[in-house]
Amino acid sequence: MQDRAPIRVGVLVPLSGSEERWGRPGVKGCRLWVDWINAHGGMMVAGRRHLVELIVEDSAAGPEGALEAARRMVEMQRVRLVMTLGGGELGLALAYLMQRRVLTATLLPTDLSPDHPYLIAPAEVHPFFNVTGVDWLARHYPEARRMAMCSQTDLMGLPSLATYRAAFKVAAREIVAEVSYDPDTADAVQIVARLMASDPDVLCWCSSAPPMVEALTVAAFEAGFTGQILSCTCDNYQRLIARTSPEFMERVIFQFPDFDDPKLGDSAFFFHRPKAFFDSYNERFPGLWSAVSWEYAFILDLWHEAVETADSLTPSTVLTALKRGRRMPHAFGLATWWGTEVFGIDNALVGDWPVVTIREGKARIQEFGSVLDWLKVNGPLLAAELGALNQLWHQRAKPDLAQALADD
């Protein structure tokens, strides 16, 4: 007999603003995952099956708005897990979720700290995986030595800027230009013009949001750039091919594959069928696949396994089950819980990450690079670059949660 009381999961991600496309596609992936789980009877806990229900809120409503959304999830909906993009305006919300000991997942590991013991980064280690793209470029294009990059001035952009700085130093590449920009007011054409004035071999968009990646890439094409481009993401690359050319887009190196890639055929998640998830997603939500389409759903997959292993929904028990072995399967192979060196706590799941280029109009994985191996060797340099931008966990001001709650 099925207990119909649902297990609720919170998704607190940007549904508006410049980072909307790092939120909505991920929610759609979660809906697909929830439908799959519920079609199989739901989650088994303490001998009973429960359907799963999503509670979705916008994290882009300002710090107080995100805090209120988190409170609604916890106090009214009794969610068992909260998933976030991270960074942005989540400081108060994260402080509240930690106070309430709610298991919370972020896509931005620089949110991690000893002050956030129930916060984990199990899907991606943005922006640290970007070092694999730099390493691949340095080996395959040794003549490309002059790097010009731009990054937005927020909690998504600054850690990425620090990571690329460190990766370029390790690869013995010269940074000839840097442009920092406000994501709400930046002009892509002007940014590209400033970068190209330094005569670079490589343009790097760091972790610019998808609309800015598109605008920067088109601007580079129209300016006649003939070198390589590094970008964390390249969502909707088919549209970019149409706006530029197939040959131009083959010079773009990024980090997120399509999940029908032949090199993902042996991945053991989404019921051992990553291509089935990709195909189902595109059938249900055509044209909306993005870097985050799979990530929140992947977090749900890991959490689901941990809940059923622990036979409990208690956050501390589920967290122990998640970290029961320091090494565990990840989307792209085995990964290790890591992070004390940079975050003060081993709550980031770090392993291999794909390097992706476009070949004959299709995103294709070129290789899997080891983020963990790079960090083991170059962690101190990365920490120094993060520290120079005040992005280490102990450098950030703590939000005044008590005052925010008192003002409510």
pLDDT at 267: 52
CATH number of 130-258+354-394: 3.40.50.2300
Q: Where are the domains of the chain?
A: 7-125+261-351, 130-258+354-394
- pLDDT tens, position by position, 70-86: 999 999 999 999 999 99
Residue 49: exposed, middle, or buried by beta-carbon count in 10 A (0-12, 13-18, 19+)? middle
For residues 256, 350, 137 and 222, what is the CA-based torsion angle, rounded to 10 degrees?
40
The fraction of the chain above a pLDDT of 90, given in percent, is 83
Cβ neighbours for 168, distance < 8 A, ≥ 6 positions apart: 134, 147, 174, 175
What is the three-class DSSP state of 119?
strand
pLDDT at 264: 87
Query: For 49, phi and psi rounded to 5 degrees?
Result: -95, 140
Q: Which residues pair with 357 in a beta bridge?
A: 253, 364
Token readout for 122 is 């199990």
Residue corresponding to tokens 């130093």 = 169
Q: What is the mean pLDDT of residues 198-208?
A: 97
Report the distance separating Cα 200 and Cα 386, nearest Å. Answer: 24
Cβ neighbours for 194, distance < 8 A, ≥ 6 positions apart: 177, 179
- pLDDT tens, position by position, 284-320: 999 999 999 999 999 999 999 999 999 999 999 999 9
DSSP H helices, 153-208, are: 157-170, 188-196
Do 229 and 220 meet the contact criterion of CB atoms below 8 Å apart?
yes
| The amino acid at 184 | D
pLDDT at 1: 43
pLDDT at 133: 98
> Comparing 20-29, 325-334, 338-347, which segment has the lowest mean pLDDT?
325-334
130-258+354-394 shares the fold of 7-125+261-351: yes
pLDDT level of residue 202 (50, 70, 90 thresholds): very high
pLDDT level of residue 272 (50, 70, 90 thresholds): low
Homologous superfamily (CATH) for 7-125+261-351:
Response regulator (3.40.50.2300)
pLDDT at 373: 96
- pLDDT tens, position by position, 41-78: 999 998 899 999 999 999 998 999 999 999 999 999 99
Query: For 328, phi and psi rounded to 5 degrees?
Result: -155, 160
What is the three-class DSSP state of 362?
strand
